[in-house]
Amino acid sequence: NAGVTQTPKFRVLKTGQSMTLLCAQDMNHEYMYWYRQDPGMGLRLIHYSVGEGTTAKGEVPDGYNVSRLKKQNFLLGLESAAPSQTSVYFCASSYMDRESNTEAFFGQGTRLTVV
């Protein structure tokens, strides 16, 4: 059971380049999330998904796009990278059981540098 796996772990981009970060979970969770974390800061929600084929904007969605074509995968795209997008990106998935207990599981993070 791998949990939440992010690909790649590290990446350096030039300004204006595009890339896609992949998040895969094998826990059959309905909800998935993308966050960014800047040095010394908390996590900020970029986009999230409540199920296959659905996505929604979080707190800082500008400059990013997402897709959830398959339940187990949540992709984060940067169409034209900017230095301000240099950050550590975390993906998470979560569930809610019948007793309304919920728990999120996080990936190991992707360290992205835009030069």
Footprint of another protein (CB under 8 A): 4, 31, 33, 35, 41-45, 48, 50, 56, 58-59, 90, 92, 94, 96, 100-109
For residue 95, list its beta bridge partners: 103
Contacts of 14 (CB under 8 A, 6+ apart): 81, 114, 115
Indicate the residue among 14 and 101 with the shorter CB distance to another protein. 101
Q: Residue 56 CB, nearest distance to another protein (Å)?
A: 8
DSSP-based three-state secondary structure for 83: helix
CA distances in angstroms from 8 to 43, 57, 86, 99, listed in the order given: 19, 23, 14, 35
Residue 1 vs 101, nearer CB to another protein? 101
**Of 93, 94, 86, which is closest to residue 19 (Cα–Cα)?**
86
Residue number, 38 or 79, with CB nearest to another protein: 38
For the record, the structure tokens of 61 come out as: 């969605």
Least spacing, CB of residue 16 vs another protein, in Å: 28
Indicate the residue among 17 and 61 with the shorter CB distance to another protein: 61
Q: How far is the CB of 65 from another protein (least distance, A)?
A: 18
